[in-house]
Each structure stands twice: as structure tokens, then as C-alpha cells.
Structure 1
Amino acid sequence: MTLSFAPDRIETWPLAKLQSYARNAKAHGADQVAKIAASMAEFGWTVPCLVAEDGELIAGHGRVLAAAQLGLATAPVIVMPHLSDAQRRAYRIADNKLTELGAWDEAMLLQEVQELLAEEYDLDLLGFSEADLEHLLRDSAAQDGTGAVEGEDETPEPPITPVTLPGDLWVMGKHRLICGDSTSAEVVGKLLGDVKPLLMVTDPPYGVDYDPSWRNQAGAAKTRRTGKVLNDDRADWREAW
């Protein structure tokens, strides 16, 4: 069996001459195109586009979109005149599907990623999402015992003789920190001294009258938490401040 050596036929065409296939079944989202563009900027245009004689793309739709994003004017192409119309349509599908059939060797992938990370290489150029990379590295850390296991926080043992006691006040430049009950007017007064606060940013579990039902009324995504928090608005806490 003899196969033609396609790289011998690489040509350079104006980007404007390339035509997208109207029935291309492989969608290219903005995030994917951005990743392809970043890869091309880093590694160069490593894979030529495959085209019919009239310039209609057979393979390389994503690369053409990325090239336009990068402001390129030309593209390397290989003309495939020997393919019939049916073969061109079949190859467009096969070219995308065949790459999906392989599975990752997770251990080998992790080793490569960790070595690149140690070299401070930009992992965004690998094409993985940030969530996928975090999942890969987190699972590895959990398995070898070097990372925290999700859901199992380490709680240190309290000291026999506490260092910090209620009423202790630290002054750190313009900042003041007190150990005490934030609902106590006496504690708050000791903390503030003669200063009158202009803004308080807090998220206490009291006095919020929590009722998320407005989200559904506003047309936002529905939530299972549609009930109110019981006894959550029993007192007026403003006097404490």
C-alpha cells in the first residue's frame, strides 16, 4: 500500500480564501478558539489546514478562527483533490472523532504536568480547563498524603492555658482587634473607643430575615432552599452598634 506524503504539498494561502464548511458538525466555542490561538502563538502553526480545491475547509476550522483572532493574513494548507465529496464529509467527522477515542494515562499525564509546573511553565497552554488541572493535582495530593482530604479539616488541639482571653485588645497601627462577643455593646464600645464607625461589613447568622424565595420570583435559577431561616429576625441588633 502506498500513501501520498501530504507535507510535500503544503502551500500558503490567504486566510480570506479559506471557506468554512456550512455543515461542519464540530462547534468551536470562544474559549476553545482562545486556547487554540494561545497554542499557536506559543508553538507556531504546527498543523496545516486541509482544503478542497475551491478553498472549502476539510480540517482546520478552529485554527482558521484562531488565526483570524491573532491577526494572521495567511495559512499553511494542503489541497486534497483526490478526495470525493463523500470522503471529504466523512473525513471532517473522523478527524474530530478519532482524537476523542484515546484515553489519558492519568499517572503519566500527572508526571508531565507536575514537571511543567515545577518549571513554572504556563499550564493554560495545555488546553485543559483550570478546574480539570486543579482536580488532577488535588487528587494526586490526596492520594500521596501531601494534601488535605476534602471534607476532613484538621482541627488543632486547644492549648491547656489559653493565650487569648475575652476582653483582650490588640492595637496594630490604625487597626484594632478584640476578643469578645460582637453583640455586646460593652465589648464593641471598648473596641471602638472614641471612634465612630462609618461602615460595618459583616455577615452574622442573626438579624438577616433570610428568605430566598425572591430569586424564583425574579426569574433566577430555582433553588431547593426555598424556606425561611426560623427565628432569624427576633431582635433589633442596631442598639449593639
Structure 2
Amino acid sequence: MTIDVSKLPTEIKDIDWLKASPTNSKKHPQSQIEKLARSIAKHGIANTIQTETDGTIIAGHGRWLAAKHLGWTTVNVIVRTDLTKEQAMALRIADNQTVSTDYDAELLKAELLVLKDADYDLDSLGFDDGELEKLTADFGAIDESTFVEDIGEAVETQRAENVEKAKDIDQSAAPIGDALGFKRVTIEQSRTVRSFMSRIEAETGLQGAAALVAYIEQNGLAA
């Protein structure tokens, strides 16, 4: 059954009654808290903070920190007595997903593992299929350096690596038949080819394939 949160009772709670979830994956840098505090000071808290019955915050960690930053002593809270522990955890992730791009990836994966083991519907958390597949593929140790923060820089790095790889490939050996488009000639044709190669080697001062390529380039024969 879908719950209309706007119809749930709101309580005034001492701000120190609330506590952050130890597994909350949303990061709140000081700069973000100060920015949110300025907004709250002017407009108030638009979305009421939601907590579990023991005061653990489900939705509104940033709003709570901003209110503390402003020196507030009380806040309006919706205490979600209707949720199981797993449902509260799922709501916490889903709420973060709708507003967040900055996660503690280890904590996020840990919470997803708990929900996965509980057979919770992970598709309801706000991730697309690709994101969910990556997040649930490996719950081992996470190297956060794999989470690219600057996609533009990553693309340029990859492009540079591709250029270097292409250079290496260009300098590697390849069968002459791949270049010519045929692998065998008759004895008579072979004599003609050898005579031609002798002439261009004399003209270019180079040998073999280097002489042939130089001759083609010097005479504008390349496509």
C-alpha cells in the first residue's frame, strides 16, 4: 500500500534527538551544508525530515546538519512507525538517489547487499539497470579511483592512450599480402616485381618496403 507522507503526523523534536544513519551513503561537505543553511534560513525546510522510531534519519541528513549549523534547537519530524528496517534503508537510498551524485560507494554497496539478501526490490530505488548492475556486481573492496569524477579528462586520457596504441600497431609487422591484396604471383610476374623494386630502391636509396612506400608517397600515388 502506498503511503501519503503528507498525511502522516509531524512532531517537534529536539534537534539532538535526531541522529545520522551510520550507513548513510550521501556525503555532505561543509560547503554544501552552508549553502543549504542559507536556503533554509530564507525559505525554511521544504521537505520534512523523516526518521526511524529511534531518531535515525531516513531522509533529510543535509537539512538536519544545516539546521544545526543555523543553531536551531528543534525541528519538525515525521517518525516513520510504518516502516521495517529494510524499508527505511530502501527509502534512505531512494531519497539520496533523487538528489545526489556524490556517494560513499562502499557504504552504498553495503546497504544494497543487505537489501539484496532480504530479497528487496532493488529496481524501486531509483537506479537505472546499468547503474544497479555495476553497483551489485561485486561487493568486495572498492577502489574509489575507479569512479571517474572528470569524464572530460577521462575521455582525453583514453583518446591519448588510443593514439599511442595505434602508433604501436602501425609499427608492428604485417604480411605483405595484407597490403597488396594478393599473396601469390607467377614466376614471370615475380621477375617484373623484382625489377621494379630494384629500380625504386636505386631511386630512393632505401630498401624493401621502405623504398616502396617512399616511391608511392614521392609520386603522389597514395589514395
Which has the larger Rg? Answer: 2
Band the TM-score falls in, shorter-chain normalisation: 0.3 to 0.5
TM-score, normalised by the number of residues in structure 2: 0.43
More helix by share: 2
Bigger relative contact order (CA 8 A; separation at least 6): 2
TM-score, normalised by the number of residues in structure 1: 0.40
